[in-house]
Amino acid sequence: MTQQEALFNYCLRLADNSLILGHRLSEMCSKGPFLEEDIATSNIALDLIGQANELLQYAGQVEGKGRNEDDLAFKRSERDFFNVLLAEHLNTDFAVVIMRQFLLDAFDFHFYGELKKSTDATLAAIAEKSHKEIVYHLRHSSKWVERLGDGTEESNRRIASALNDLWRFTGELFEMTEVDNLLLKAGIAVDLASIESAWKKTVADTLQRATLTIPENTFMQRGSREGKHTEHLGYLLAEMQHLHRTFPGVEW
């Protein structure tokens, strides 16, 4: 694998995390539990899709085959997406939406904080910008985890169940591959092992305030680094890519 191939894959991974999570959140538009949350999830979705746009643009440049951000978002199939499994999880319950968001916001907060120091100037610039947006996302989702966990019996039951369901998807967040190792040597990538403990601390502090406990001995699901996904991603892409696949080259 060349450094260029590794960087292309790395950009796709970051972009897909933002794009797929952003798309999932956009599905909440008009379905939020109340108006303020509807606005919040839509705003966060917008930030994430904006970040994905910047990352995909850069991925296209790195690849050098003339693909732009729309080609990469709308013309790749499921197995060519590298977002973590957690990002594609369904919006089954507001507590699930919040817990999924919190676990990923906490990861992004530490990840992009480190990526700012990347020797790759474009990634560092995207990180600098994204990090400021992610602070607001994390603040929003962590306060909700606290409120639901330390709320009523029902809200506690739901957020605890969301945590138990989603925890198994957190292992692969820190999985290092050949791509990471190659780019790490060049000072481009983030050493995921170095942010794992900071992420755990952020998560544990909030969960403690929320009176929730991290599940133990969980079997960790993985696969996204090789483009292997849960059954949910295909349906998501079918909807997201519908227009571009039906009307190739469509512009508006």
Point out which residues bind other proteins (CB under 8 A). Answer: 35-36, 39-40, 42-51, 53-54, 113, 121-122, 124-126, 128-133, 135-136, 138-140, 143
Closest to other proteins by CB, 105 or 180 = 105
Closest to other proteins by CB, 13 or 140 = 140
3-state SS, 152-195, equals CHHHHHHHHHHHHHHHHHCHHHHCCCHHHHHHHHCCCCCCHHHH
Closest CB 124 distance from other proteins, rounded Å:
7
- Residue 139: CB partners within 8 Å, gap ≥ 6? none
Closest CB 226 distance from other proteins, rounded Å:
28
Closest to other proteins by CB, 29 or 238 = 29
Closest to other proteins by CB, 19 or 99 = 19
- Residue 188: CB partners within 8 Å, gap ≥ 6? 7, 10, 118, 119, 120, 123
Q: In whole angstroms, what is the distance from residue 127 CA to residue 134 CA?
A: 10
Closest to other proteins by CB, 19 or 183 = 19
Closest CB 153 distance from other proteins, rounded Å:
26
Closest to other proteins by CB, 122 or 218 = 122
Closest CB 50 distance from other proteins, rounded Å:
3
Buried b (16+ CB within 10 A) or exposed e, 20-31: bbbbbbbbbeee
Q: In whole angstroms, what is the distance from residue 163 CA to residue 104 CA?
A: 12
Closest CB 54 distance from other proteins, rounded Å:
6
Q: In whole angstroms, what is the distance from residue 27 CA to residue 112 CA?
A: 25
Closest CB 53 distance from other proteins, rounded Å:
7
Q: What is the DSSP letter of 119?
A: S
